[in-house]
Structure formats: structure tokens, C-alpha cells
């Protein structure tokens, strides 16, 4: 949940602007009565409240007094038993709305999250873990929304109008019933994270390769048989480029250099010759994956992305652990080397970061 920060940096002022009813095992009537209580009003004015926390209770509906929170910026309704979000939600100047883990359906959502004739201030919307069966079309009106979470529902398709959400940075639709992804997703120019895992997706659109700001793409637990050539083959794919650029090499320590010589020269070392900590260190040597190299490494290694042929159609990025930059092979073999369990373990496939 995006943390809302008011202009005031005074802690007491923030506390005065926060009303916390989280984890109080409240039911509807308890909350309604408490919001009307003279004791609570004497401490805080409802019109000044900016953060209202109602998470982890037993609420099945929201109090009618919610309409009086004219300055509300953050509303957390997660982990209740809510069956409906009233239309008044769209009339509040919210920045963050969290309604995950409830019993909401498409029919029980507000027809609009936007105040009439005004731009929406909503930047984060979390409807994960509910009972939605299709993508809520009304969210495509939220031009300023940055984070949308609708995972853990029963959504079968993503709206083709998703392209209208040009401020979107995170789109999380994992754990649904998606079978495909619309081409219009590739028009979300600001998207940095796309979560599609745990679905029934068989194909991905090539338009995803146009998401130049994408840093995270989660695809596991789907029915994908192949990925678009544009995603796998492009060397300037942002996911692969970021992975390569983030790599750095620190010089090995003197201890590692000495240990490498001992191992590569097959120097005989018996118990008692060296302290036990040194013997334990020597036993942790890892073999370089370059089949032409007989070297080893310990804590220091070179991480190198190598593109290899996959099924004669695609070039798949593999992450190699090498003992030295001199072990980088510039020619691409038709298949990755498989020289035993040790090397197989040290060369793990990295697919799109």
C-alpha cells in the first residue's frame, strides 16, 4: 500500500489525521456507534481525518457516516467480509483504496471511482482476493492510477481498454483464469511490473516487447509453450539489459586467490596441515562452467549472460557463473554445455530477468 504522507511533518498532527480501527473484531453496528460517539469526536474531527484503517474486522458493509470523511486520502478495508463497495467511495478524494480479501463481485463495485466532472486522485487500487469474474471496466477511467492489484480472483480476460491507463506502473493480475493477454497492454508506456503468474495463458502478444520501462515480468505457472521471438531475441530487451547492467565484479581476496591455486594445482592437504576453517573453505570450491577451463571459484565469480539456441527458433538468455572474465565465450554454441550435476547447478536458466 502506498504510504500517504500529509504536508505536515509533525507526528502528533499525523496521529490526529489517522483513525485506526484495524484488528478490533468489529461488526457493522459497533463501528457505526463508535463513529458517532462523543468521546471519539472530541479527539478527532471526521472532516480532518485523512487515513481510515478498518482492516481485519468482520464488516459486511461500510458505515453511512463514511460520506462525512471529506478529506480522506487512504482507506484500508482489507480482510473483512464486505459484499459491496457503495457508490460513495467514488465521491471521496482517495489516493489509496485497499479492499483485498473480501467477498466483492463485479456487481458490488461502484459504477465509477471518479467524482463527477473531476479527475480521479486515486493512485493505488487493490481488489485482490475477491470474487471478480471479469476485469472491472470502470477502473480504465482512472487516468492517474499507478498501481492496480486484481490478483487472486476469477478474471478470465483483461480489458482491451487497459491502454487508457497511461499512468499505470504496476499491473498485478496473477492467480486468475486468464487465457491470453490483449495487445493493448503493450501501450502502457509507464509500466514497470507486470504480474501474470498462476493463470492459464498459452500465448503472449509481441507488443509486450514495447514496454521499455518494464523491470519485472512474472510468467510462472501458466500454459506457455513458447514466448514471442521479439521478447527472447532482442538484446536490448529491458529485462535482459537491466540484468546484465546490474552485474559487477569485485576483486577476489588474497585468501580466495591462494585457495584457487591450491585447488587447481591439486596440492595435497591433510587434516592438521591447516586450520579447520581453511579446510572448510577449500571444500566449498565451485567449478567454472566453461568446459575449456579447469579453474574454480569461491566467493568471487563473474556472472555472464549468454544467449543460446532454443528449439532452433529462439535465443534464450542463460546466466553463467565463471571464475574469470577470460572464460567468457564469444561464440554461441547450439546448446548449453552439460558436464555433470555440478556444472548444471552452477548454470541456471534466467528467462527475462
Lowest-confidence pick of 108-112, 195-199, 339-343 = 339-343
Which has more confidence, 253 or 42?
253
| Residue 153 CB burial class (10 angstroms; 0-12, 13-18, ≥19) | buried
Closest to 60 in 3D by CA, of 24, 103, 100, 25: 103
Give percent of the chain with pLDDT exceeding 70. Answer: 75
For residues 283 and 248, the answer to whether their CB atoms sit within 8 Å is: no
Region of residue 216 (phi > 0: left; psi between -120 and 50: alpha; otherwise: beta) = beta
Q: Domain 10-247 belongs to what architecture?
A: Alpha-Beta Horseshoe (3.80)
pLDDT for the residue numbered 42: 45
Instruction: Indicate the Cα dihedral angle 94, 97, 103, 108, nearest 10°.
Output: 30
Q: What is the largest CA-CA distance in the chain?
A: 83
Distance in angstroms (rounded) separating the CA atoms of residues 221 and 170? 20
Lowest-confidence pick of 70-84, 218-232, 274-288 = 218-232
3-state secondary structure the chain: CCCCCCCCCCHHHHHHCEEECCCCCCCHHHHHHHHHCHHHHHHCCHHHCCEEECCCCCCCCCCHHHHHCCCCCEEECCCCCCCCCCHHHHHCCCCEEECCCCCCCHHHCCCCCCCCCCCCCCCEEECCCCCCCCCCHHHHHCCCCCEEECCCCCCCCCCHHHHHCCCCCEEECCCCCCCCCCHHHHHCCCCCEEECCCCCCCCCCHHHHHCCCCCEEECCCCCCCCCCHHHHHCCCCHHHHHHHHCCCCCCCCHHHHHHHHHHHCCCCCCECCECHHHHHHHCCCEECCCCCCCCEECCCCEEEEEEEEECCCEEEEEEEEECCHHHCCCCCCCCCCCCHHHHHHHCEECCCC
- Give the tens place of pLDDT for each residue, 231-257: 765 455 555 555 555 555 577 899 999
Phi, psi values for residue 193, rounded to 5°: -140, 130
Mean pLDDT, range 156-178, rounded to an integer: 97
CA distances from 39 to 34, 36, 42 (A): 9, 9, 5
Which has more confidence, 181 or 317?
181
pLDDT for the residue numbered 258: 92
pLDDT for the residue numbered 349: 40
pLDDT for the residue numbered 345: 39
pLDDT for the residue numbered 58: 93
Task: List every span in the chain annotated with CATH 3.80.10.10.
Answer: 10-247
Cβ-based neighbours of 119, under 8 Å, separated by 6 or more = 143, 144
Q: Over the chain, what is the mean pLDDT?
A: 81
Amino acid at each position: 500500500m502506498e504510504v500517504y504522507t500529509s504536508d505536515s511533518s509533525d507526528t502528533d498532527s499525523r496521529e490526529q489525521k489517522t483513525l485506526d480501527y484495524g484488528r478490533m473484531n468489529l461488526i457493522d453496528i459497533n463501528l457505526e456507534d463508535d463513529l458517532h460517539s462523543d468521546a471519539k469526536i472530541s479527539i478527532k474531527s471526521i472532516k480532518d481525518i485523512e487515513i481510515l484503517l478498518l482492516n481485519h474486522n468482520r464488516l459486511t458493509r461500510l458505515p453511512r457516516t463514511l460520506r462525512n470523511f471529506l478529506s480522506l486520502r487512504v482507506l484500508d478495508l482489507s480482510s473483512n467480509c464486505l459484499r459491496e463497495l457503495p457508490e460513495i467511495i467514488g465521491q471521496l478524494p482517495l489516493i489509496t483504496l485497499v479492499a483485498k480479501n473480501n467477498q466483492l463481485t463485479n456487481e458490488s463495485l461502484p459504477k465509477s471511482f471518479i467524482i463527477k466532472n473531476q479527475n480521479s486522485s486515486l493512485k493505488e487500487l487493490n481488489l485482490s482476493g475477491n470474487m471478480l469474474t471479469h476485469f472491472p471496466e470502470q477502473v480504465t477511467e482512472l487516468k492517474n492510477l499507478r498501481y492496480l492489484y486484481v490478483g487472486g480472483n476469477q478474471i478470465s480476460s483483461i480489458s482491451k481498454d487497459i491502454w487508457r491507463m497511461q499512468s499505470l506502473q504496476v499491473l498485478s493480475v496473477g492467480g486468475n483464469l486468464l487465457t491470453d493477454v490483449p495487445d493493448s497492454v503493450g501501450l502502457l508506456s509507464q509500466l514497470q511490473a507486470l504480474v501474470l503468474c498462476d493463470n492459464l495463458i498459452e500465448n503472449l502478444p509481441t507488443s509486450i516487447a514495447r514496454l521499455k520501462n518494464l523491470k519485472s515480468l512474472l510468467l510462472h505457472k501458466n500454459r506457455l509453450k513458447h514466448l514471442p521471438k521479439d521478447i527472447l531475441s532482442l538484446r536490448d530487451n529491458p529485462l535482459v539489459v537491466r540484468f546484465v547492467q546490474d552485474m559487477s565484479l569485485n576483486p577476489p581476496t588474497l585468501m580466495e586467490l591462494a585457495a584457487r591455486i591450491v585447488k587447481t594445482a591439486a596440492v595435497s592437504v591433510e587434516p592438521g596441515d591447516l586450520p579447520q576453517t581453511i579446510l572448510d573453505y577449500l571444500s566449498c570450491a565451485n567449478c567454472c562452467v566453461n568446459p575449456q577451463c579447469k579453474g574454480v571459484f569461491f566467493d568471487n565469480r563473474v556472472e555472464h549472460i549468454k544467449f543460446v539456441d532454443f528449439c532452433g527458433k529462439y535465443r534464450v538468455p542463460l546466466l553463467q557463473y565463471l571464475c574469470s572474465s577470460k572464460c567468457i565465450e564469444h561464440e554461441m554454441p547450439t546448446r548449453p554445455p552439460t558436464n555433470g550435476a555440478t556444472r548444471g547447478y552452477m548454470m541456471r536458466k534466467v528467462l527475462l530477468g
